[in-house]
Amino acid sequence: MAEKEFLLGVKARELLKHTKRETRVVTDDINPQDVRTILHKIAALEDIRDAREVCSQAINAIDRKRKEGFTKSTFRLYGQDMRDIAKQILLDVHAANNTHFLTEYDSRLRKIDAVLDGCSLLLEYITVCLEDGIISKTKAGLWTRKVTDVKFMAGAWRKNDGGRARKLREQAQAEKDRQQTALVKEAIRQYKAGE
């Protein structure tokens, strides 16, 4: 892998890991470790009034606590797609890099375009999740930065390879034109020789 494309592959891998982590399903279930801590506190108390107070505080904390993140239904609606998109971005980066440029430059450019499209779609999903209150502005900002890192690097790669592909197309067309001109000249020469 070329150096910049290698870095792009690393960024795409980080994006996939981050997307997987951020799309985990959260539930309203109580963490067993929290329950254990509360029970130990209650067991250590000597007066029943203190136990009632600790239980009341725990209940209030549970009632106030609304976990940020994907529920099972929002995961099915958005989260799974987001994971799939991030996975496809990583696959497309590697597929583009493993495509021999000199012989398959159009295929490589299509794969880089797929990376750019995937990044744009993932950014849209992040925006929708932010607007629906599934994720916070902080999470959306960090996630967006990871996506835009990949998108800008892929955009630079596309621009660079697009210029190289244009030159190769022009060279191929010039060679084809030269061959056709030579054929026409040969045909004219043979026609004149036959007269």
Q: Write the DSSP assignment of 61-83 as a string of letters.
A: HHHH----SB-HHHIIIIIHHHH
30 phi/psi in degrees, rounded to 5: -85, 140
| Within a domain: 82 | yes
Residues 102 and 149 in one domain: yes
Whether the pLDDT of residue 14 is over 90: the answer is yes
Residues 160 and 76 in one domain: yes
Q: Which helix (H) or strand (E) holds 130?
A: helix 101-131
pLDDT value at residue 178 = 79
As a whole number of angstroms, the distance between CA 82 and CA 27 comes to 19
Residues 23 and 33 in one domain: no
Domain span including residue 38:
28-66
Average pLDDT over residues 165-185: 73
Average pLDDT over residues 107-114: 88
Residues 94 and 79 in one domain: yes
Residues 102 and 47 in one domain: no
Residues 49 and 120 in one domain: no
Domain count, the chain: 2
Closest CA to 38 of 59, 22, 21: 59
Question: What's the half-sphere exposure (Cβ side, CA atoms, 13 Å) at 130?
Answer: 15
| Within a domain: 100 | yes
Whether the pLDDT of residue 21 is over 80: the answer is yes
> Is 0.85 topped by the overall pTM?
no
Closest CA to 125 of 155, 62, 83: 83
Give the end of a domain, one of 44, 66, 88.
66
The proportion of the chain whose per-residue pLDDT surpasses 70, expressed as a percent, equals 85
Residues 126 and 162 in one domain: yes
Residues 127 and 147 in one domain: yes
The dihedral built from the CA positions of residue 179, 183, 188 and 194, taken in this order, carries a sign that is positive
Average pLDDT over residues 37-55: 76
Average pLDDT over residues 154-164: 84
Residues 45 and 99 in one domain: no
As a whole number of angstroms, the distance between CA 149 and CA 93 comes to 13
What are 146's two structure tokens?
């990871």
